[in-house]
Amino acid sequence: MLSDNCLKTVCSVTELAKKLNLSRARFYQLQKMGVFPEPIYCVRTKRPFYPLDLQQKCIKIRKTGIGYNGQPIIFYGSRRNESRESQNQSDHEYEKLTNGLRKMGLNVTRNKVKKAVKTLYPEGLAQCFDEGMVIRNVFKCLEQWQ
């Protein structure tokens, strides 16, 4: 599902819901039921956010199916046929990443980039929102291999 490499120090409710493959409405619904922990609120702006530790707890809840309240929860899969969409998107992401690394001076192929990404992000890039962090980590990995 997700690796810790994809997590930011803080994220919004919307971002966390996306990482968990849930709609924001469904996430709030489950939060009210006690399945997910309540967010932290910024004193100045009153906006809810999730720090790293709460994000990790939410991911663990999604993976294990045991809610924050200790009750079991069953998460159903998506109804959309995402295999073709995700394949096209991942090909585009690898191409974009390869071009960016070439601009940074690395002589790499898309297959090498794919191998590095699979090593660093076994769950895939779909839930990684920080592109700068991804390209930095892949760059360092490929640099070590050369």
This prediction has a pTM of 0.56
State pLDDT tens for residues 102-143.
Answer: 998 889 998 998 888 888 888 777 667 678 888 888 888 888
Cβ atoms of 140 and 99 closer than 8 Å: no
Q: Write down the CATH number for the domain with range 4-64.
A: 1.10.1660.10
Domain ranges of the chain: 4-64, 83-145
State pLDDT tens for residues 55-109.
Answer: 999 999 999 999 999 999 998 876 655 555 556 667 888 888 899 899 988 899 9
